[in-house]
């Protein structure tokens, strides 16, 4: 199926797709793929060197940053009054937090590769895929730029390239899926870290390692593994020496997947959802009129290539 035919079908069927939000990703046990991979991030070891940011930039062929990766003035930046977030040009960023009466804490942020991803659930054209290896990837040839995923993600991760005002495409960490994860290799950011902040492995093993570290050093760590339960569990997990909220984590997230909230939302606003996908699909068709190929980087892995 060509992308144009697919999208034309989506225009007609967009409302129906949106009105049938039952694509729960992986059943009721909330474990995703049992042998899926993840990364344990131990923030007590991070020194804020930004080597992981540089490695990601290189691995993903991202543009040169405005400031070099050895410029630590970025830790004082507050774009739009907030700490830095991943963007379409930087799939991971490190921030410094200054807890009261504590040493500064550095935290690496990227897509957490949720077990039951709200981005996937919210996407009416099924641009997203959760792979058995644990990555949440996307097909940017299918993405119509509706930004539902941006709103649905509980961690504020998906970013968009606004090179075209009406035809933005999603950009986010893909767990180095293309170049590494699908071959069983360690992600670039993990490999580059000089402090061994991150451990790459099966998620279920990482949870054991995390609890073991807490048990061995109860004074050093807060007794929680962030991501073990939040929103149904995430592939990337965190250990911290300070309460998680002091390092900018949202501690009010439910342990249930966000999909449940999305379903509730869909149930109460059927009119909006009937119109919204078709509207954005229409914009997309207009914007891509005359183009024969997908735009930007190709992260397509789900067999929906143009033929």
* # chain residues binding ligand SF4, by CB under 6 A: 41
The stretch among 22-30, 112-120, 207-215, 269-277 that binds ligand SF4 (CB under 6 A) is 112-120
The stretch among 5-13, 107-115, 209-217, 239-247 that binds ligand SF4 (CB under 6 A) is 107-115
3-class secondary-structure state, position 71: coil
Residue 278 interacts with ligand SF4 (CB under 6 A)?
A: no
Q: How many residues does the chain have?
A: 307
Contact predicate 237/206, CB 8 Å = yes
Of positions 69, 75, 97, 106, contacts ligand SF4 by CB under 6 A: 106
Which residues contact residue 160 at a Cβ distance below 8 angstroms, ignoring those fewer than 6 apart? 88, 145, 147, 150, 168, 169, 170, 171
Q: Of 173, 43, 194, 40, nearest to 108 (Cα)?
A: 43
Of positions 14, 18, 75, 92, contacts ligand SF4 by CB under 6 A: 92
Of positions 49, 105, 199, 247, contacts ligand SF4 by CB under 6 A: 49
CA angle, corner 54, sides to 51 and 56, nearest 5?
Answer: 110
Of positions 105, 119, 159, 242, contacts ligand SF4 by CB under 6 A: 119
Which residues contact residue 117 at a Cβ distance below 8 angstroms, ignoring those fewer than 6 apart? 25, 128, 130, 136, 153
Which two three-digit tokens encode residue 108? 């690496």
- Smallest separation, CB 184 to ligand SF4 (Å): 14
What is the per-residue binding string for ligand SF4 in 7-46, x denoting contact by CB under 6 A? Answer: ---------------------------------------x
The sign of the dihedral angle between the CA atoms of 266, 269, 274, 280 is negative
Q: CA 23, CA 87: separation in Å to the nearest integer? A: 28
- Smallest separation, CB 237 to ligand SF4 (Å): 12
3-class secondary-structure state, position 237: strand
Residue 189 interacts with ligand SF4 (CB under 6 A)?
A: yes
Of positions 97, 155, 226, 249, contacts ligand SF4 by CB under 6 A: 155
Q: Which residues form the interface with ligand SF4 (CB under 6 A)?
A: 46-52, 55-56, 59-60, 91-92, 94, 106, 108, 110-114, 117-119, 136, 153, 155, 157-158, 172-176, 187-189, 192-193, 195, 197
């Amino acid at each position: 199926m060509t992308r144009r035919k697919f999208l034309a079908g989506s225009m007609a069927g967009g409302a129906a797709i949106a009105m049938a939000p039952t694509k729960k990703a992986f059943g009721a046990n909330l474990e995703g793929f049992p042998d899926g991979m993840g990364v344990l991030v131990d923030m007590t070891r991070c020194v804020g060197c930004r080597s992981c940011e540089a490695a990601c930039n290189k691995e993903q062929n991202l543009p040169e940053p405005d400031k070099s990766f050895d410029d630590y003035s970025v830790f004082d930046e507050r774009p739009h009054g907030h700490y830095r977030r991943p963007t379409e040009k930087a799939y991971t960023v490190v921030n410094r937090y200054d807890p009261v009466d504590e040493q500064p804490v550095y935290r690496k942020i990227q897509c957490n590769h949720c077990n039951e991803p709200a981005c996937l659930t919210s996407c009416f054209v099924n641009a997203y895929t959760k792979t058995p290896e644990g990555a949440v990837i996307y097909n940017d040839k299918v993405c119509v730029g509706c930004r539902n995923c941006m709103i649905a993600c509980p961690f504020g991760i998906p970013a968009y390239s606004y090179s075209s005002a009406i035809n933005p495409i999603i950009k986010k960490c893909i767990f180095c899926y293309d170049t590494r994860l699908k071959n069983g290799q360690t992600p670039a950011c993990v490999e580059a870290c000089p402090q061994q902040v991150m451990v790459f492995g099966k998620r279920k093993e990482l949870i054991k390692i995390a609890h073991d570290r807490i048990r061995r050093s109860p004074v050093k760590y807060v007794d929680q593994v962030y991501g073990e339960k939040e929103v149904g569990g995430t592939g990337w997990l965190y250990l911290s020496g300070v309460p998680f909220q002091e390092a900018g984590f949202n501690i009010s997230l439910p342990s249930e997947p966000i999909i449940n909230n999305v379903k509730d939302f869909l149930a109460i606003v059927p009119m909006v959802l009937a119109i919204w996908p078709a509207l954005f699909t229409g914009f997309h068709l207009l914007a891509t009129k005359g183009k024969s190929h997908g735009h930007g980087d190709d992260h397509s892995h789900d067999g929906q290539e143009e033929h």
